[in-house]
Amino acid sequence: MRETDLRTQVLAWAAAHPEVAARRAELLRLADILDGLPRRGARPLDAILRFAAGYVAVNGLASGLRLVMDAHGPALGGEGEGGEFTVLLACVADVRADERHGGAYLFLSTGESVWLGFF
């Protein structure tokens, strides 16, 4: 799934899920940021979850970033070489472009952040 598929999915899910509709602008901004990133060959998207004690990297999100329905509600997720990645939409406080490294940050209400981009 390409990142542009995230845009299509957000638009479709927003009509059916109030939680997605409430985050529509942020999710579309994320899709725009990811679509604007320079590609490094055919390399899939990578994710780094940063928290107080360190970080966890999920390399090669071959499935791309997509909306998934978690037991606790709608989430962003993907499957990569290093495992599975899921972030509940209810925890996303802000979405910003990473101008320094190229990529996107998801700042979470729990204090953690997620960087999405290409290594």
DSSP string, 53-72: TEEEEEEEETT-SEEEEETT
Instruction: Please identify which residue in the block is written with the tokens 């928290």.
Output: 51
CATH number of the CATH domain containing 75: 3.40.1570
* pLDDT tens track, the chain, 119 positions: 444 588 999 999 999 999 999 999 999 999 999 988 887 667 788 999 999 999 988 888 877 889 999 999 999 998 887 788 899 999 999 999 999 989 999 999 999 999 999 87
List the end-to-end C-alpha distance of the chain, in Å, as a whole number. 18
Number of domains, the chain:
1
- pTM, whole model, 2 decimals? 0.87
Domain that holds residue 103: 3-117
Q: How far is the C-alpha of 5 from the C-alpha of 115, rounded, in Å?
A: 19
